[in-house]
């Protein structure tokens, strides 16, 4: 039965939602504040709906309930999960909670582009302008003024310990030989008004920077380079999904570039040994991460990531989803590498009377058939765990590269050129 407050207030909520939508579509200023207000509005609505339904349910363990759809990003779900894992959080290395407000010499609210050399939490000396997100700012900082010990400070208000939990779960579940692909957090300083996440600092830019470097020249990104980064991303998601973790915000801005300390050689590429072990990508920003171990095995997710261009088919059609949020993001990133544009999808009929989703942009004649196979399989995958599919796709791209020594040689040269261009810039 529909709760009375929802039945009576439906049109009020709908009208409020349309006001936010209209403003965003018209790019009303300040747009970032309006988008954040819309996110908070939807979370409040989700909380009221969930609170009403839970009042009728006698339960003691959050999420230990009959199968239902859950928005993993709603304020109510996050609150339930944090309460459930709090005893575990208290045992994490680097977890420094306080019930008091932040009281350092520098007010965190005053940090701006001119904050260079200011000291945060008595030891972190800010050395770079912030990278601004929806709810947080990320700064480059020296530890105890030591230029050889550089970290990234993610300062967030309101405080958000969930990302720290996700990083510690990665530490526990990801094999050591793959851990460099998923970032590392040293500690979390948690206050009543702010949180300060201290992470490894990678200085070589993002995959978005690589894509932009080709877009500004009007030249396409070489296919062998697209294949290499596709292998890296397929391997990432295969590993993550295999240990019950969903990233939830898979996009090129969150994929940092890793370079080997020594020059790449043609040897070791197939085994990922030598310099190739340190070369690749690093997936960061785990604020939307989903820990499947905290949910029933048959859980179905609902909710919209609300990131333009990265809403999976299921979100667009208001269907339940799980791993599709990541694999759709992967398809968008690959599309951006190939076409320098976000992906639009179309529904095409098949000979058996069904339909498939495919990218609207055509595949180039001189491209490998691997691309069409990848998009067709990932955009139309409705099964549960997708690890076997990701593994088979990765193997097909790896076999393609390994089939010709000239491709590996060209890849090595392109990565060296990329490093020279972007790192010098």
Half-sphere exposure of 228 (CA within 13 A, CB side): 24
Q: Which of 4-18, 55-69, 75-89 has the highest mean pLDDT?
A: 75-89
**pLDDT-derived band of residue 5, with 50, 70 and 90 as boundaries?**
very low
Q: What is the pLDDT of residue 306?
A: 87
Say if CB 215 and CB 206 are below 8 A apart.
no
Q: Which of 52-66, 124-138, 299-313 has the lowest mean pLDDT?
A: 52-66
Looking at 56-65, 256-265, 306-315, which range is the least confident one? 56-65
Strand partners, 253: none
How much helix, strand and coil, in percent to the nearest 5, is found in the chain?
A: 45, 15, 40
Distance CA 396, CA 401 (A): 9
Phi-psi category of 215—alpha, beta or left, where left has phi over 0 and alpha has psi -120 to 50? alpha
Fold of 207-424: Transferase(Phosphotransferase); domain 1 (1.10.510)
* Ranges of each domain in the chain: 4-89, 95-200, 207-424
Establish whether the linkage from the previous residue to 400 is cis, with ω within 30° of 0: no
Tokens of 106: 């520098």
| CA atoms 318, 323, 325, 331: torsion sign | negative
* Mean local confidence (pLDDT), 175-191: 95
Cβ within 8 Å of residue 371, ≥6 positions away: 334, 338, 363
Higher pLDDT, 47 or 388: 388
Assigned architecture for domain 95-200? 2-Layer Sandwich (3.30)
Long-range contacts of 40-45 (CB under 8 A, 24+ apart): 41/16, 41/17, 42/17, 42/306, 43/73, 43/74, 43/75, 43/76, 44/75, 45/13
The reported pTM is 0.83
Catalytic entry in 43, 249, 291, 326: 249
Q: What is the pLDDT of residue 111?
A: 80
Q: Give the integer Cα–Cα distance in Å for 251 and 330.
A: 7
How much is the average pLDDT of 1-13?
Answer: 47
329-367 confidence digits (pLDDT tens): 999 999 999 999 999 999 999 888 889 999 999 999 999
Which residue's structure tokens are 């008091």? 100
pLDDT of residue 33: 59
25-45 pLDDT, tens per residue?
665 766 555 655 655 555 455
Token couple for 168: 């510690």
Q: Is 249 tagged catalytic?
A: yes
Distance CA 385, CA 123 (A): 44
pLDDT of residue 57: 30
More confidently predicted of 306 and 225: 225
Residues 131-140 as b or e (16 or more Cβ within 10 Å = b): eeeeebbbbb
């Amino acid at each position: 039965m529909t709760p009375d407050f929802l039945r009576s207030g439906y049109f009020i909520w709908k009208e409020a939602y349309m006001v936010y939508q209209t403003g965003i579509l018209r790019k009303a200023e300040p747009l970032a504040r309006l988008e954040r207000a819309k996110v908070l509005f939807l979370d409040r609505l989700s909380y009221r709906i969930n609170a009403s339904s839970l009042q009728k349910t006698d339960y003691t363990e959050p999420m230990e309930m009959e199968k239902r759809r859950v928005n993993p990003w709603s304020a109510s779900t996050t609150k339930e999960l944090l309460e459930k894992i709090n005893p575990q959080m208290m045992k994490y290395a680097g977890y420094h909670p306080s019930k008091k407000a932040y009281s350092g010499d520098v007010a965190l609210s005053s940090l701006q582009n001119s904050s260079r050399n200011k000291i945060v939490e008595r030891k972190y000396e800010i050395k770079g302008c912030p990278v601004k997100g929806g709810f947080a700012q990320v700064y480059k900082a020296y530890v105890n003024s030591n230029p050889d010990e550089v970290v990234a400070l993610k300062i967030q208000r309101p405080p958000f310990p969930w990302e720290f939990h996700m990083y510690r779960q990665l530490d526990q579940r990801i094999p050591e030989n793959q851990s460099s692909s998923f970032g590392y957090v040293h500690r979390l300083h948690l206050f009543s008004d702010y949180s300060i996440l201290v992470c490894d600092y990678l200085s070589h830019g993002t995959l978005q920077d690589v894509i932009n470097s080709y877009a500004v020249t009007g030249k396409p990104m070489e296919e062998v380079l697209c294949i290499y980064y596709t292998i890296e991303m397929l391997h990432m998601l295969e590993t993550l999904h295999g240990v019950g973790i969903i990233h939830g915000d898979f996009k090129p801005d969150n994929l940092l570039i890793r370079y080997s300390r020594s020059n790449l050689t043609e040897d070791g590429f197939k085994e990922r040994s030598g310099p190739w072990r340190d070369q690749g990508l690093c997936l960061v920003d785990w604020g939307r991460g989903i820990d499947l171990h905290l949910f029933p095995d048959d859980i179905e997710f609902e909710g919209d990531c609300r990131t333009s261009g990265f809403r999976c088919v299921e979100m667009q059609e208001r269907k339940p989803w799980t791993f599709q949020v990541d694999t759709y993001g992967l398809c968008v990133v690959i599309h951006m590498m190939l076409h320098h544009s976000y992906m639009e999808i179309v529904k095409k009929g098949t000979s058996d009377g069904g339909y498939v989703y495919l990218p609207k942009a055509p595949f180039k004649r001189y491209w490998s058939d691997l691309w069409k196979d990848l998009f067709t399989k990932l955009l139309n995958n409705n099964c549960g765990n997708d690890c076997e599919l990701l593994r088979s796709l990765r193997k097909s791209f790896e076999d393609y590269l390994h089939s010709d020594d000239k491709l590996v040689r060209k890849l090595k040269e392109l990565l060296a050129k990329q490093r020279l261009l972007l790192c010098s810039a």
